Structure 1
Amino acid sequence: MNTSSASPRRSRLPSWAGRNYVLLTAATVITNLGSHGALIASAFAVMELGGDSGDVGLVAAARAVPLVVFLLIGGAVADRLPRHRVMVAANTLNCVSQAVFAVLVLTGEATLWQMMLLSALGGAGQAFFSPASEGMLMSSVTGEQASRAFALYRMAMHGAGIGGAALGGAMVAAMGPGWVLAIDAAAFALAGALRAFLDVRHIPARKPGEGLLADLRDGWHEVISRPWLWSIVAQFSIVVAVIGVSEAVYGPMVARDELGGAAPWGLALGAFGVGTVAGALLMVRWKPRRLLFVGTLCIFPQALPAAALAVPTPLVVLVAVMFVSGIAIEVFGVSWITALHQEIPEEKFSRVSAYDWLGSLGLVPVFTALAGPAENTIGRSTALWGCAVLVVVVTAAVLFVPEVRQLARRDPTTAPEPGAVVSPGAPHVEAVPAAPGGEPVGDGRG
């Protein structure tokens, strides 16, 4: 009786969607519902207390600094300890810091230094959570369905972000930022409870290491030995920083001065979320052969939101621009995580992920802290145009790296094709004819 009733429930899920995948997806949906609203709430909490763009930037930088400082340690710890325990501990810290932040805002007792301190605690928790989470996700799926699994996971994640951003913006406008921060704290608590039930028995036992520094050196070797990996991480050190400045600092200011406040900005962020869901749906069915070439081309549209804010365009144009950039970044995101899953050994996932996060976020504190002075010196519009130009320049530069153009999706069910380069520590590079002078040429279809 029990067996027959359980079987239909299991059959509703694909074979690769095991317990860990389902728990990870559910927990991520919950945290994204809270965190997308909290992103808006924290900026408007600062402004409600009389803060300007410089103060908003300082609070954002306060979160980014410990995130950058502790990322490498977090990655090494996540490859040594059970990853789910690291994730639960980080969620607990995030829950407590956001709860205190909410209480201070609701009581009107918050000061700038308190908000910076609480944001810093949240950043420290994220530094340990992110490498563990990414390693856990990549170890939860195997084989040829990995790309589809990642796309569906990200679709659920971003789908929650749509509701979180739209609801968060509306709640900030109707109830104030404190209640949105309180909801985010509750979301961290619930998500941490779900992640406590993750099963790590399938992950091979770690061999005794030579220490934390040796683990970090090993992770560094994995990154630096792959030109496609370190070049894109270097690219994103600029891209993530300027997008962060555009959307976390200047975006709320433009919304307040030109668009009507928090609700329209929440709508724009929600449109970005809709775009990421559309991009994930696309990647469920589309498997581009040259993962990183296609993904890198999709970074160019990330310059559009900063340009739209610089004009500034009407809300309907900004919403459309955010939607397009959401589709494009999701194509890159699925391609990137698929490449990592294909090329990086499982026991080193978290350390490589930590270097990825560190490189991508390393300049965020600098750019966010300088956002206010830059606005005062050259003007908000000029600063936003500079952000857009930087995205285009660094993305074009990455396309000069041969492995970024050539790294190919590998079919796990077949042997490598004759002429393909597959070696330990190197990506699977598609064999392509050489143009005069030795440069490879493709068919233009990605």
Structure 2
Amino acid sequence: MSDRPRMLEPLRERGFRFYFLSRSVNLVGTTMAGIALTFAVLEVSDSPTALGTVLAAHSIPMAVFLLAGGVIADRFGRTLVIQTCNVLAGLTQLAIAALVISGTAEVWHLVALTAVNGTVASISMPALAGIVPALVPRDQLQPANVLLSLMRSSMTILGPSVAGVLVVGVGPGWALVVDGTTYLVAAALLLGARIPPRQRTGEQESMVAELREGWQVFVGTTWLWVVVLGFMVLNALEQGAFNTLGPVLAKGSEIGEHGWGLILSAEAAGFLVMGLVLARVRLQRPLLWGMLGMGLYGLPMIVLGTTTETAVVMVAAFVGGMGVEVFSLGWNLAMQENIADDMLSRAYSYDALGSFVAIPVGQLAFGPLALAFGLQHTILVAGSVYLVVVALVLTSRAVRTLPRATTSSAASDATGSTDPEPVS
């Protein structure tokens, strides 16, 4: 069988096909919304602290409600949870768009509505992360994840550039209108991808008991908690230095709003190119290669901390995007092949909580740090620390040696004791 038919096999599954279409439509808007919201805030206030506050208003509720989202997904069915959250997210984005387009938006409006959006995103995230193994046979997990990644990368290449043009041409509100509308369309498409809720026997456990089961899986799986611990720091650095200070630096330099959109598109092009490579290569040692890939993501921060040449930063972002794509596939395979399906959403919720809990710290702290030490110097130091944290995660033998699970052994142990060897 040639590589292309093998990669397209998951689309023969009706549930996955509708899910793929739903995510595609949703990402058309979502990839525009990030840059649109960023410059909407900067239109209201040019303060990096104000931007960090709005971004933190999205990430703080995510940290608070993620664990509940994992239990809700396992209890009520992942498609129903995703659909409901899509509708609520669409309505909040349309409300933000109306305020921005009408010129009546204030920072506190954006903070309040973004907090609601972050809440529904936190509840849907574990369901989104855990749905793929229920839609395709286990031997199609890699091609299914690669297809989703290629689609996401393609949308991410186009979205920021189009958003940059819209921000300059007609203002950031119209990109937010597109995002809000696509959430609603995505919810309708997901009707074709229904999955029966988790089958239960006996008396239903309490939410606390289910959270305790998920915690036992998390702490009993060494590679899981080691990587999540590392990403507590990595995500804070990325969100604070690159995603918060980067647009501020761009707006005040020759990069500009459109140039920043091109940089994000170059990063997405790296996702796409590496996705095409991974469609042909079976990824062995998924976490070893994944963390090595994450090391490349320190490069855009280091380069942005030394130059404001748009083309140079674009090249660094492209390389960093390639590295992130390797990690993304490696992490999904590690989780989907080694965690039991009835625990997967809860395991992802602990993963997401640990990974995201420090993001608001980065978003809130890097504005004052930049005012004290300078934008570029702060970004440069953050990129250097990023590389050190990646190296520390790779000192774990469990991370370096985790192999691909075989079909027969995958997810056979719901307690999470899947480490091939202990941490060195």
TM-score, structure 2 as length reference: 0.94
Q: Which of 354, 359, 365 in structure 1 is aligned with 2:360?
A: 365
SS of the aligned residue for 1:409 comes to coil
What is aligned with 1:245?
240
CA contact (8 A) 1:38 1:184 kept: yes
Q: Which of 397, 418, 436 in structure 1 is aligned with 2:392?
A: 397
CA contact (8 A) 1:152 1:281 kept: no
Distance 1:349 1:213 in 2: 17
What is aligned with 1:321?
316
> Residue type of the partner of 2:119?
A
Distance 2:267 2:204 in 1: 43
Offset, 1:296: 1.0
**Within the alignment, does 1:297 sit opposite 2:288 as a pair?**
no
**Within the alignment, does 1:116 sit opposite 2:111 as a pair?**
yes
- Aligned 1:3-402 pairs, distance under 5 A: 14=9, 17-201=12-196, 204-207=198-201, 208-402=203-397
Distance 2:6 2:27 in 1: 27
CA contact (8 A) 2:301 2:382 kept: yes
RMSD: 2.3
> Residue type of the partner of 1:400?
T
Question: Which one is further off, 257-266 or 96-105?
Answer: 257-266
> Residue type of the partner of 1:382?
H
For each residue in 1:38-94, what CA deviation from the matched residue of structure 2 results, as whole angstroms up to 9, or x when unmatched?
A: 111111111112331111100000111111100000111101001111111111111
> Residue type of the partner of 1:251?
G
Distance 1:12 1:390, change over 3 A: closer
Distance 2:376 2:346 in 1: 39
What is aligned with 1:426?
417
> Residue type of the partner of 2:253?
E
Offset, 1:144: 2.3
For each residue in 1:146-199, what CA deviation from the matched residue of structure 2 results, as whole angstroms up to 9, or x when unmatched?
A: 112111111111211111111111111111001111111011111111123322
Distance 1:55 1:347, change over 3 A: same
Distance 1:192 1:13, change over 3 A: same
Distance 1:229 1:142 in 2: 23
Offset, 1:349: 1.0
SS of the aligned residue for 2:200 comes to coil
TM-score, structure 1 as length reference: 0.89
Offset, 1:122: 0.8
Distance 1:369 1:424, change over 3 A: closer
For each residue in 1:314-370, what CA deviation from the matched residue of structure 2 results, as whole angstroms up to 9, or x when unmatched?
A: 111111111111111111110110011110000111101111111111001111011
Offset, 1:376: 1.2
> Residue type of the partner of 1:230?
W
> Residue type of the partner of 1:34?
G
Offset, 1:108: 0.8
Give the total of aligned pairs: 418
Distance 1:45 1:204 in 2: 41
Distance 1:80 1:377, change over 3 A: same
Distance 2:397 2:344 in 1: 24
> Residue type of the partner of 1:144?
D
For each residue in 1:4-46, what CA deviation from the matched residue of structure 2 results, as whole angstroms up to 9, or x when unmatched?
A: xxxxxx9995266412211222121222221121111111111
SS of the aligned residue for 2:228 comes to helix
Offset, 1:279: 1.4
Offset, 1:143: 2.5
For each residue in 1:96-148, what CA deviation from the matched residue of structure 2 results, as whole angstroms up to 9, or x when unmatched?
A: 11111001011111111110001101100100111011111232122222112
SS of the aligned residue for 2:101 comes to helix
> Residue type of the partner of 2:87?
T
Distance 1:353 1:17, change over 3 A: farther
SS of the aligned residue for 1:51 comes to coil
CA contact (8 A) 1:16 1:142 kept: no
CA contact (8 A) 1:301 1:325 kept: yes
CA contact (8 A) 1:16 1:145 kept: no
> Residue type of the partner of 1:376?
L
Offset, 1:411: 2.9
> Residue type of the partner of 1:282?
V
Offset, 1:263: 0.9
For each residue in 1:227-246, what CA deviation from the matched residue of structure 2 results, as whole angstroms up to 9, or x when unmatched?
A: 10000011111111211123
Distance 2:324 2:23 in 1: 18
Distance 1:353 1:42 in 2: 27
Distance 1:49 1:92 in 2: 27
Distance 1:15 1:388 in 2: 38
Q: Structure 1: which 5+ runs fail to align?
A: 1-9, 417-421, 431-437, 441-446
Q: Alignment identity in percent?
A: 30
Whichever of the two has the greater Rg, that structure is 1
Q: Structure 2: which 5+ runs fail to align?
A: none
Distance 1:12 1:133, change over 3 A: closer
